[in-house]
Chains A and B, each alone.
Chain A
Amino acid sequence: MKAIVTVMLKKGVLDPQGEAVKFALGGLGFLGVNGVRQGKMIELDLADGTDTAQVDEMCTRLLVNAVIESYTLEIL
């Protein structure tokens, strides 16, 4: 089984990298880009039957810093 963890900066936390990407898109002539937020995706290859709660614990204990980041977990 696989799990996909999508990590994003929390709403309200300034994302300087997203702002830089937005600026660069404007420089290329793309109009109407109102905002860019940059995050990361982590793909976990897991033993079949791994408990979802355990995957959630992986997120909270290591993969995500709850001070600045939020995440979504998708089990495939």
Chain B
Amino acid sequence: MRAAVVVFPGSNCDRDMVVALRESGADVTTVWHKDADLPVNLDLVVIPGGFSFGDYLRCGAIAAQSPICRSVVNHANRGGYVLGICNGFQVLTETGLVPGALMRNSGLNFLCKTVHLIVETADSAFTSGYVQGTEIQVPIAHHDGNYFATDAELAGLRDEDRVAFSYSDNPNGSCDAIAGVLSSNRRVLGMMPHPERAMEPEMGSTDGQALFRALVGQTITA
């Protein structure tokens, strides 16, 4: 699998993401936000966590308008895989690749801790390495992770089995305790928790490994 990690000014999880993908067997490169084009024959684009453009205007709003994001949207529309973690999830909602929006945590505090997630579906390239209903431990680190979507959108997500992960103890006030959602073609995943920070026993959890191993096993080129 060929993967690219997009780097914005303010990204801070890009190198962790490169390591997680490489350790899982992917051929990884990084691309700068001002690049207009993605590398050719790419399978996966990852938008990593961080504070792109200082979270100005709204989290992810400026990044979503950058030149590289037009290519990311085109990649997704061609059926390519896209993974957005934390700030990357916020960017994906701002581009419209996944529904909803991320608002300020309901308790107003920045949350940085390991949480329990429930795997809501194993029916995606990202989650096929888990058993549906399993609880996994993955860290969160965000101020704006309170997932909001309209009642109609939430019903649609449930009906189409597009909630990938939910929190077992909703820490940020998210609608339906949603932690991650899939696009309608199930090839775009946005999630607030950081699976790339749960890759080694020294990190406190290895539960992120199954996501990357399953994903890297996909070889369909967009």
Map CB proximity to A onto B77-120 as digits: 1 under 8 Å, 0 otherwise: 00000000000000001100001110111111000000000000
Please indicate the chain B residues that have their CB under 8 angstroms from the CB of A68 in the complex: 101, 103, 148
The answer to whether A62 touches B108, judged by C-beta atoms less than 8 angstroms apart, is: no
Tell me the chain A residues, 1-54 only, with Cβ under 8 Å from chain B.
13-14, 16-17, 20
Please indicate the chain A residues that have their CB under 8 angstroms from the CB of B40 in the complex: none
Chain B nearest CB: distance from A3 CB in Å? 16
Complex Cα distance, B102 from A67, in Å, reads 10
Please indicate the chain B residues that have their CB under 8 angstroms from the CB of A60 in the complex: none
Chain B nearest CB: distance from A6 CB in Å? 14
User: Quick one: closest A residue to B107, CB to CB?
Assistant: A16
Name, among B58, B65, B108, the residue most crowded by chain A CB atoms within 10 Å (CB to CB): B58
The number of chain B residues with a CB under 8 A from chain A is: 20
The answer to whether B57 touches A17, judged by C-beta atoms less than 8 angstroms apart, is: no
Please indicate the chain A residues that have their CB under 8 angstroms from the CB of B106 in the complex: 14, 16
- Cβ of A72 within 8 Å of any chain B Cβ, yes or no, is no
The number of chain A residues with a CB under 8 A from chain B is: 10
Please indicate the chain A residues that have their CB under 8 angstroms from the CB of B65 in the complex: 62
Please indicate the chain A residues that have their CB under 8 angstroms from the CB of B58 in the complex: 65
- Cβ of B129 within 8 Å of any chain A Cβ, yes or no, is no
Chain A nearest CB: distance from B179 CB in Å? 18
- Cβ of B173 within 8 Å of any chain A Cβ, yes or no, is yes
Q: Check A20/B101 contact, CB under 8 A, given A14-B173, A65-B58, A67-B148.
A: no
Q: Check A16/B105 contact, CB under 8 A, given A62-B65, A67-B93.
A: yes
Complex Cα distance, B144 from A17, in Å, reads 12
Tell me the chain B residues, 10-66 only, with Cβ under 8 Å from chain A.
57-58, 61, 65
User: Quick one: closest A residue to B60, CB to CB?
Assistant: A65
Chain A nearest CB: distance from B200 CB in Å? 35
Please indicate the chain A residues that have their CB under 8 angstroms from the CB of B103 in the complex: 13-14, 16, 68
The answer to whether A65 touches B108, judged by C-beta atoms less than 8 angstroms apart, is: no
The answer to whether B173 touches A62, judged by C-beta atoms less than 8 angstroms apart, is: no
A16-B103, A65-B101 known, 7 other contacts, Cβ within 8 Å: A16-B105, A16-B106, A62-B57, A65-B61, A67-B99, A67-B101, A67-B150
Q: Can you list 29 A-B contacts (CB < 8 A)?
A: A13-B103, A14-B103, A14-B106, A14-B173, A16-B103, A16-B104, A16-B106, A16-B108, A16-B146, A16-B173, A17-B104, A17-B108, A20-B108, A62-B57, A62-B61, A63-B57, A65-B58, A65-B61, A65-B94, A67-B93, A67-B99, A67-B100, A67-B101, A67-B148, A67-B149, A67-B150, A68-B101, A68-B103, A68-B148
Binding site for B on A (CB under 8 A): 13-14, 16-17, 20, 62-63, 65, 67-68
Q: Which 7 residue pairs across A and B have the least CB separation, nearest first?
A: A67-B101, A68-B101, A16-B106, A16-B104, A16-B108, A20-B108, A65-B101
